[in-house]
Homo-oligomer: A and B are copies of this chain.
Amino acid sequence: MQRVVSEAALQAAFNCFVRSESGVRLGSFKVAVIAHQLAELTMELGMIGLGRMGANMAQRLAQGGHRVSGFDPNAEVRKSIESKGVQPAESLEALVAALPAPRVLWLMVPAGLITDSTIDKLLPLLAAGDTVIDGGNSNYKDTQRRGLALAEKGIRYVDCGTSGGIWGLAEGYSMMIGGEKAAVDHLKPIFETLAPAKDKGWGHVGPSGSGHFTKMIHNGIEYGMMQAYAEGFSILEHKQDFALDLHQVAEIWRTGSVVRSWLLDLTAAALEKNPKMTGIAPRVDDSGEGRWTVAEAIDLNVPAPVITLSLLQRLRSRDTDSYADKLLAAMRNQFGGHAITKE
């Protein structure tokens, strides 16, 4: 199907009717525009770090018509990116040299020391007016520090908290952006292409650091939501009298219920594949944002028990030989003579 439609039409939902061959109306359906993309402006950009996230984002930008170069220390990774429409560069120097001034560089490298060392290497190669975007999960305080340092050299530093994971390539990324307004405005075509829709899923939320801050809180909420689902499904699983089909329940909830969400969609997909979670160890990792959210909440005197407990449950999942529980067993034995289970 290929038709010319007006912009106005794109906003509307269509009412369609299903008829039998003899023309009797059998029913109706609705269609609505769920995504549209008008390529208006393209930019040139260098992506630094071509891991899962960086490669996908570079590819989405290339598909959107932007000219994207990319660098990664791993040669194989550099090679594979070419097939995705991204021009590989052999070094940071080559990457920077390949870009027209003022340059735009997007960092998609692990937060912490690697981000700092990458910036240190970049600095001598850049000039006033260039822009560096940190799209990773940096701690917002690091971002503020780096932003100040780069500003001294006239380099614009933009922090872009990026959500969407492995689904971003197909569905677009949600981006919370911090930094100077002029710098963010300049990058608009990039954000419009990376986002799920031109005017959806991204925004300039405030000064330097505020993008990473907002993403950090996003992840804290994510912890809480995930834990809520996990607990609920665990109760369902343990109610053996009802022999519930957890995948079915998840599917029912996906439409019309109060708890419908994208995380529930993913949960349904996981439950369809493996309803008993066979072969999966009960071990939940955490990256930094949950911890930072908890620390920030306490710094701000905001009680956030559910986000906090969600983090603590993850710690607990890895504390498989709990000293605390052993000591509790020993204490019960001391005062009540309660039996201790031998290890």
Contacts and interface: CB of A to CB of B under 8 A. Distances in A.
B229 A329 contact: no
A329 B283 contact: yes
B36 A331 contact: no
A171 B335 CA distance: 12
Contacts of A329: 280-284
A189 interface: no
Contact of A202 (B195, B252, B316, B335): B252
A37 interface: yes
Given A2-B17, A205-B252, A301-B319, 15 more contacts: A4-B19, A18-B36, A18-B38, A27-B38, A165-B335, A174-B252, A200-B255, A221-B259, A225-B261, A227-B305, A229-B331, A259-B261, A281-B343, A303-B316, A305-B309
Interface string A287-323: 0000101111110111111111111111111110111
A82 interface: no
Contacts of A337: 52, 165-166
A303 B295 contact: no
Contact of A258 (B165, B172, B249): B165
A258 B222 contact: yes
Interface stretch (A69-77, A85-93, A118-126, A269-277): A269-277
Contact of A232 (B3, B218, B300): B218
Interface in A197-255: 197, 200-203, 205-207, 209-210, 213-214, 217-239, 242-245, 248-249, 251-255
B308 A308 contact: yes
Contacts of A231: 220-221, 224, 297, 302-307, 324
B295 A318 contact: no
Interface size class of A (residues with CB under 8 A): 35 or more
A330 interface: yes
Nearest to A296: B235
A195 B251 CA distance: 13
B37 A15 contact: no
Contacts of A315: 298, 301-303
Nearest to A281: B341
A37 B27 contact: yes
Contacts of A218: 232, 253, 257-259
A170 to B, nearest CB: 10
Contacts of A10: 18, 29
A16 interface: yes
Interface in A108-156: none
8 contacts: A4-B17, A178-B242, A205-B244, A206-B242, A206-B244, A227-B306, A230-B328, A270-B330
A277 B227 CA distance: 27
